[in-house]
Structure formats: C-alpha cells, structure tokens
Amino acid sequence: MRPIIFTHRVRARYQETDQMGVVYHANYLNWFEVGRTEFIRHAGLTYRELEEKGILLPVMDARITYKKPAKYDDEVDIRTWVGLLSPVRLTFCYEIIRVADQELLVTGETMHAFTNSDLKPIRLSRSEPIVYEWLATKNKGEE
C-alpha cells in the first residue's frame, strides 16, 4: 500500500537563487523542512505542539539527489510522505516537482530521531502512542 503523500506548493524566490537564476542546492533542505512542517500541520498537529509535549525531531541524516534545477519564479510542489517509522526513528521522503511541466527535479530523505528536550532518545510509541499511531497510519496509506 502506498503511503499518504502531502503536497505543498511554493514559488522559487529570487533570494533562493544564484546569479544564473538557479535555485541554490542547499535551499532544497529548506523546502524539505517546509514539506514536513506542512505535512504535520495538515493533520492538525504542529511542531510547536510536539515540542510542548516534549518531543523533538532532530535531523540525523539527510540525502538529496539532484536531477534538474528549479529556477527563479518556478512553482514547485513539495511532495512529502513518511518513509520508515520505528518507535525511536522516523524518515520523511520528498520529491520536488516543477508544476509547469511536472518534471521531477529533486528527491530526498531526512531521518529524524525522537528525543526529549534534553536531546535524549525516547520511544514515541510509549511516550505519545496517539502521535505514533497517526504517523503509522500515514506510513501505511490509511486516512
């Protein structure tokens, strides 16, 4: 079963590009963050609420594959979904698609640990079973 994919649209701003009008490579990580923030918000939960519950999601690893560049003023869709989920770790997957021609520009993943505010690992399935179950249903493709 395919996981639930959330799509959020952004426009490449001038400040995100280099002199050639090409989106600077590190800005895709920012777009990944926008994608996962909006993915969580779409479900009625925010990063702030997670932090208020004492749950942090620091990035442990990031992978990006560049296929084609986005350029200034391009509208792009950030497609985000839950890849791997364990009680202590979570991987988000991403695709950046240019809206005008549906060209796949970038793919990537970020791996996150579930930690408390002291950055000590926690088992989300124990500390916040409702949040863990919600993530698990997104991973399995259930609404």
Task: Tell me the CATH number at 74.
Answer: 3.10.129.10
* Domain assignment of residue 56, yes or no: yes
Identify the domain containing residue 109 by its residue range: 6-138
99 located within any domain: yes
Q: Looking at the domain assignment, is residue 1 inside a domain?
A: no
> What is the distance between the alpha carbons of residues 64 and 44, in angstroms, rounded to a whole number?
28
Full-prediction pTM beyond 0.85?
yes
* Catalytic-residue membership of 77: no
Query: Is there a domain that residue 107 lies in?
Result: yes
Mean pLDDT for 32-60 is 91
- How many distinct structural domains can be found in the chain? 1
Catalytic site residue from 18, 61, 73, 74: 18
* Residue pLDDT, tens place only, 67-97: 999 999 999 999 999 999 999 999 999 999 9
Find the largest Cα–Cα distance for the chain. 50
Question: How many residues are present in the chain?
Answer: 143
Query: Is 64 among the domain residues?
Result: yes
Q: Cβ atoms within 10 A of the Cβ of 72, count?
A: 16
